[in-house]
Amino acid sequence: MKDVIRPVDPATLKSLTPSIRTFELKEECGINNLPNQIMAKAISDGFVFNILCVGETACGKSSLLDSLFNTRLDSTPSTHDIPRVFLRKNTYDLFEREIRLKLTVVETAGFGDQINKDDSFKVIGDFIDSQFQSHLDEELKIKRNLANYHDTRIHVCLYFISPTGHSLKALDLVTMKHLDSKVNIIPIIAKSDTISKPELQRFKQNILNELNTAGVKIYRFPTDDETLAEENLKANNLLPLAVVGSNETVKVGNQYVRARQYPWGVVQG
């Protein structure tokens, strides 16, 4: 007896065929689109930036940070009668043009105000080491949770130098020498509008000479990338940076800018 082949019902055939999911590409898919995907993920996750500000009391640390991030960060002015150096740590959630930034600012209080300054720099070094240790402890856990872990390791140290116009203080050299192997140091001449341009140029050269003599390594912007080499080289030639910060807004032309108003003119921050 011969087998009879009967036609299969289309509905039955459709039920037996495995369903294949399809989707439409909203954007180009390929290796050349990988940088855009990484950037989109980074923007979605947000960024973390930790700054250490080292400098004497009332040298303009808070004003400069307010000018840098164009906001008013909560900060309590320090007095000159603090018996020892301690660090104040504050974390802020900033948002600008769809970019989220978790900013942690660590400021020194009472730095340089004591008669005996032997231990002033040790407090700062111990704090940096403790942040490295905290991150290492999290890495060594059996169940790590780095996705939700707030990394507090310091990315950069802004070292504020008083605008004396002459040379660095002994405390400055000792502190920077103690920290240069732990963190990126960017020397900054605070309130640079208080000294003339010729004095400022001599002061910068004196600072660089003293740092080289003491063997202090400061941060240099990388010049190995051709797209940024020229700009970074210009930035390296400006070190130590001369800055002016302000919390006041002054009308210059048709817009309001952060600036300091003087009888002879306006200095923008």
For residue 156, what are the β-bridge partners? 51
Tens of pLDDT, residue by residue over 123-177, are 999 999 999 999 888 888 888 777 778 888 999 999 999 988 788 999 999 999 9
For residue 124, the model assigns a pLDDT of 94
Q: Which residue has the higher pLDDT, 263 or 133?
A: 133
pLDDT for the residue numbered 227? 85
pTM recorded for the entire structure: 0.81
Question: Of 243, 220, 242, whose CA–CA distance to 233 is shortest?
Answer: 220
4 within some domain: no
Domain for residue 22, yes or no? no
Q: What is the dihedral of CA 186, 191, 197, 199, to 10 degrees?
A: -80
Give the C-alpha separation, 164 to 166, whole Å.
Answer: 5
Closest CA to 244 of 195, 185, 179: 195
The domain that holds 105 is classified in CATH as: 3.40.50.300
Distance between CA atoms of 185 and 183, rounded to whole angstroms? 6
Task: Give how many domains the chain has, as a whole number.
Answer: 1
The verdict on residue 184 lying in a domain is: yes
Q: Is residue 17 part of a domain?
A: no
Instruction: Look up the domain containing 188 and give its range.
Output: 32-268
Query: Which of the four pLDDT bands, split at 50, 70 and 90, describes residue 32?
Result: confident
In 3D, which of 188, 147, 170, 236 has the Cα closest to residue 65?
188
Whether residue 54 lies inside any domain: the answer is yes
* pLDDT exceeds cutoff 90 at 249: no
Q: Given this model, what pLDDT does residue 3 score?
A: 56
User: Would 46 be classed as within a structural domain?
Assistant: yes
Would 11 be classed as within a structural domain?
A: no
Widest distance between CA atoms in the chain: 115
**Percent of the chain at pLDDT exceeding 70:** 88
Position 61 in a domain: yes
Ramachandran angles phi, psi of 135, nearest 5°? -70, -40
